[in-house]
Amino acid sequence: MNTFQSIIIAIIEGITEFLPISSTAHMKFANPLLGVQSGPFVDLFEVVIQLAAIASVVVIYHKQFFNFKHYSFYLKLIVAVIPALVFGAILKKHIDAALGNLMFIAIVMVAGGIVLLFIDKLFTSSHQSSKDISYKKSFIVGCFQVLSILFPGLSRSAATIIGGMSQKLTKKAAAEFSFFLAVPTMLAASAKSTLDVYKEDPQVFNSSNLTTLLIGGVVAFLVALISVKFLINFIQKNGFALFGWYRIIIGLGIIAMLLFTNVIPK
């Protein structure tokens, strides 16, 4: 992976991380189109720049993240992240296989898009905020996050936002809690991925690759700062249907490319 490729993928990550369109799917689709070959470093890069993008949430919501008087906020995030940690460890082989199957990811993109077409009407509106979420509801949202792990291409943000809305949170509150939950989730994923890659090939952590990681991380972080604010404003005014149609179009396009062309290696 060269610098140009890392910047393009980081921009894609920064834009898509918080939108319910699956940043993982977009990176997996973009890699072969950019000539990026899969490998330990590329897998690590994809996880680490997701963490960098999610760090933007800490900056935007710094007052809530660093308000240590309300310790229940942190406990609720811990409760919510537990399902992902458990199922991620138990089903690692399934997850790795699914991440390498572009057809599977594309089909999940389409299926998730169909769900988003109807999600605005499926759940009744509520006035609950992300601060009011209980431990039980936090755990349920965390269980929804597991779906995005089992089905790459579903979108972690889509799954957790839908989970929040199912628990009577407003769209804004559900999105915010989804953002908050992403922080411990991706911290754990990045730590695990880094350890796994180091055990497999310590040479991956050479100066060139570390520079590429740094550049990608900075770009993803800066782009994500804009993406977060855009999503909150957009879904409050327009809902999720447009994202649903986008997912369906992209998913069907990738399926067609996989079936009828050699643009993306099968």
Query: Each residue's pLDDT tens digit in the chain (266 positions)?
Result: 899 999 999 999 999 998 999 999 999 999 999 999 888 899 899 999 999 999 999 999 888 888 888 888 899 999 999 999 999 888 888 888 888 899 999 999 999 999 999 998 887 666 666 667 889 999 999 999 999 999 999 999 999 999 999 988 888 889 999 999 999 998 888 888 888 888 888 888 999 999 999 999 999 999 999 898 888 888 888 889 999 999 999 999 999 999 998 877 65
Cα diameter, the chain: 58
pLDDT number for residue 42 = 92
pLDDT at residue number 158: 92
Q: Which two tokens stand for residue 218?
A: 């900075």
pLDDT of residue 98: 86
DSSP for 246-257 reads HHHHHHHHHHHH
Domain residue extents for the chain: 3-260
Please count the helices (runs of H) and the strands (runs of E) in the chain.
12, 0
DSSP-assigned letters across all residues of 45-106: HHHHHHHHHHHHHHHHTHHHHT-TT-THHHHHHHHHHHHHHHHHHHTHHHHHHHHT-HHHHH
